[in-house]
Structure 1
């Protein structure tokens, strides 16, 4: 049975923020922090719906469309900086009146979550950082190359299907590629370019070192986004940070090893995830 409740929009931080809600705040879920899931650079909320379905079994779950993606606000004049994205998250939880919540961010979303935590939003219980780009000033480049994003978005804008996405996502299922083909055109190229530049100019390590709530770092065994030495550096700066490396998975961890992804949380979010 599905845990999907509805999609909705809220006015927060001066923009329209679209989200999908799973699970609800009834029963045992009411005793646990809600989850606010922040996807990556070219991932509208709907593409993380299969994860929202699972999280919704145990937690009241909100999957965000980051500004410039999906059905949230986008425009030529919109600020697509990391600070603006982080302020969106703080305004979102305030607008919805979430009393206690955890931020779960993947890739770009992990960097947003770490920066948002510095705003000390009321009710923040914990932060989970899933395979965050550790690039930044004076560090190695992010291994994902910009043409992969630009070319796939251009193809999606012109109209394509699951087969057209195969060249970009060869290991994904047909259903996953079809969903990406349907929704990738909603990613504003200006937003993606700004976020990609931010991967190399914003200091994620400095943000992660200032986390004042329990934190979990989840990394992929494959893909070279977070190396062992990166994990060691992050844990030296934040000794209480937990770390789990998920085997047999690349950067898009739940696509490659769903069971390993959910198991990696253990009871960090207040209860084991019912996968």
Structure 2
């Protein structure tokens, strides 16, 4: 049995087991509308400065729980189900402009006072686009392993077909063991969450975002990201190779740069302790 995500195509669904994951979180659901589009967030509460977390291409908000929980003594984490994923609705498009407009609606709708933005992968690109637009006031931006692919820069290292193959596995029913074949280094709990929640991602959202990875150039945004800004990347990441990290440092030398050892693109999952320690150091620097 599966429960459809509200107002979404039938190719997006969540099982009761997946929805039960939400009951175990130390966070409450919040809702905002971007125009007519419903957006869902997990709000970890508290009186600390707000940190809006923007996950990656196939990462609903719940999959970032282990990151958010490690930060609650520093910030008030809020994790967004980006449009087309989790409990949020489907948008008509998936460009950086549309994604950034959603973030602005969240900041305004929840009256977040100068939040920090933290984005991983796709979310890092969205954070950069939001910061550059300047429509909402931010306290700082942390980009974690943003896709540096784009026109004339080569293809994104994971193909669209690979993403859609993983989605097909999730739709027919997958488990932590099967997820582990693609992501053997991940902790068991995180593999199990991905197995239960990947089917909440829409095919159109994945295709549209992947197309953006190759048609929208990150380096058109990065030099104009206002400070304070930080870029964290995996030492072994094919998404931010050494030459791209060097280009980023030249393009915005005022930013903070941190290389996460023994980690690929999925830095928090590949090396949780080192990546979260470096993230905490980075956030402390921005807050100070």
1:51 to 56, 63, 67: 67
Alignment of 1:54-73 (within 5 A): 54-73=70-89
1:176 aligned partner: 190
Per-residue CA deviation, residues 232-266 of structure 1 (Å, 9 max, x unaligned), is 21122212011110001111111122221122235
Q: Work out whether residues 69 and 188 of structure 1, in 8 Å CA contact, stay in contact via their aligned partners in 2.
A: yes
1:18 matched to 2:40: yes
Change over 3 Å in CA distance of 1:245–1:35 after alignment to 2? same
SS at match of 1:19: strand
Alignment of 1:225-240 (within 5 A): 225-240=239-254
5+ unaligned residues in a row in structure 2: which ranges? 1-23
5+ unaligned residues in a row in structure 1: which ranges? none
1:37 matched to 2:59: no
- How many residue pairs match? The answer is 264
Aligned counterparts of 1:239 and 1:164: Cα–Cα separation in 2? 42
**TM-score normalised according to structure 2 size:** 0.86
Per-residue CA deviation, residues 98-144 of structure 1 (Å, 9 max, x unaligned), is 11211100001000110111221333011111011100111121112
SS at match of 2:174: coil
2:135 aligned partner: 121
Per-residue CA deviation, residues 156-175 of structure 1 (Å, 9 max, x unaligned), is 11122222323222222322
1:255 aligned partner: 269
**TM-score normalised according to structure 1 size:** 0.90
1:164 matched to 2:178: yes
RMSD, aligned CA: 1.9
Aligned counterparts of 1:182 and 1:162: Cα–Cα separation in 2? 9
